[in-house]
Amino acid sequence: MRMYNILVFPGGTEIGLEIHRALCQCKNVRLFSAGLDVSNHAPYVFQRHYSIPSIHDPAWIDNLNQVVIQCDIDYIFPAYDDVIVAVGQNANIIKAPIISSPLETCLISRSKAQTYSLFENIIPVPKMYDNVQEIDQYPVFVKPDKGQGSQDTYIVYKKEQFAYLQDENSRYIISEYLPGDEYTVDCFSDRDAGLLFCGARQRIRIRSGISMNSSIVHDDIFLEYAQTISSKLKFHGAWFFQVKKDHQGVHKLLEIGARIAGTMALYRVLGINFPLLSIYEQERIPVKILLNDVDVQIDRALVNRYRHNLTYRVVYVDLDDTLIVNGAVNLNLVKYLYQCVNNKIRIILITKHASNIEQTLKQHRLLGIFDEIIHMEPSARKADYIRENDAILIDDSFSERLDVSKKTGIVTFDCSMLEMLSDERK
């Protein structure tokens, strides 16, 4: 297959980062990112990141097209709800095709009021109230008609609480409060073959609208809803919907998303790569679905990535309690060492290992990584063997690191500091 240049826009959202994780190891995909010139995570994971103005700035399309032309972009993968609509509305003047469902689908799914209106009396939707006077039971749930990530959502327990929302009432919709379990159903559709995959997951722990812990669930009701939704709306590629149980345990539709969801990673690790399948759908390449039958749960947390001004051409690394700890290979360190191999950085093993070094390295399948091995006497100083100024040392021993730092001036690391050196940008 040919190489596809994919521009993720914006790359720093939870959606954009999941697209990156799904595609960064694909041999026929080259990733690019674009987004606002503000602090965000995209430059830490994308090797090729470009700043463009907000979609509310008149110049945003010209700037986007400049990136498309400069980078020879094959497809734009929108990764934020408002951006999905904006690129869809301007698809005729954007100089690359968009990986997205039809604009009408995106507009309806962007509005909860339109979504509920379309599916009322077809599948269960929350009871809606046009105004405060209509409310017959509290609490109620108040949320923006066009919102995401649980932003500006409220549980209102009594009429008096509406006072602080009066100025912006037009932005909000009022619905019954649903107290039960919440689920996301990840789907993939081909424009000709229809719904090809439907997999549900319970949203067990939620933070800022993002499912941080989720597990797979099986219930025929989710497939029934997916088939009904896809019979009313046209989807090209990945999409999802969310439901929540009411007081009687009825699954009621919360929202539909004509896009990638961040926690689609749960099904990605089982074989359903939604972003890649969506590219194939746009290319009209026939696909088959292969889902591994494994019971898996996902839990998400913050990840640390760094930018720094450290440059070096040589890495000195200790063996005992650094590369091999408690008889096991330090996996994080080995991963970093192969990063050095890829970047043509020399790796020198410097050790006072008491046994036969070659035998130890062979036992742990580590032969061949090192450009040089320095085997020292127990009384020797590592600082006396380090020759280069553009080098670093990785060693568990504080006294060794301190001695090397004082004598050579190079930067030293123990294994807890390694994450600063990791560069996973693709």
User: pLDDT tens digits for 202-255?
Assistant: 999 988 888 999 999 999 999 999 999 999 999 999 999 999 999 999 999 999
Distance of CA 67 to the CA centre of its chain: 22
The verdict on pTM exceeding 0.85 is yes
CA distance 248 to 179: 10
* Whether the predicted pLDDT of 152 surpasses 80: no
CA distance 362 to 359: 5
Q: Answer whether 241's CB lies under 8 Å from 256's CB.
A: yes
- Tens of pLDDT, residue by residue over 54-107, are 999 999 999 999 999 999 999 999 999 999 999 999 999 999 999 999 999 999
Q: Answer whether 169's CB lies under 8 Å from 175's CB.
A: no
Does the fold of domain 181-299 match that of domain 4-100?
no
The helix (run of H) or strand (run of E) holding residue 405 is helix 398-408
Map out the domains of the chain as residue ranges: 4-100, 127-176, 181-299, 314-420
Which residues face 172 on adjacent strands?
A: 144
Share above pLDDT 70 across residues of the chain, in percent, rounded to a whole number: 96
Strands 297-299 and 314-317: unpaired
CA distance 158 to 165: 13
* Whether the predicted pLDDT of 159 surpasses 90: no
CA distance from start to end of the chain: 19
As a whole number, mean pLDDT of residues 352-380 equals 96
Give 359 or 147, the one with higher predicted confidence.
359
Is domain 181-299 classified as CATH 3.30.450.40? no
Where residue 169 falls among pLDDT bands split at 50, 70, 90? very low
Q: Which two tokens stand for residue 231?
A: 């019979």
CATH topology of domain 4-100: Rossmann fold (3.40.50)
Ranges assigned E (strand) in 88-151: 128-129, 140-144
Strands 140-144 and 172-176: antiparallel
Question: What's the mean per-residue pLDDT of the chain?
Answer: 93
**Residue of 252, 186, 256, 192 lying closest to 223 (CA atoms):** 186
As a whole number, mean pLDDT of residues 147-170 equals 67
Give the class (CATH, top level) of 314-420: alpha beta
Q: What is the model's pLDDT at position 127?
A: 93
* Whether the predicted pLDDT of 193 surpasses 50: yes
Residue type, 129: Y
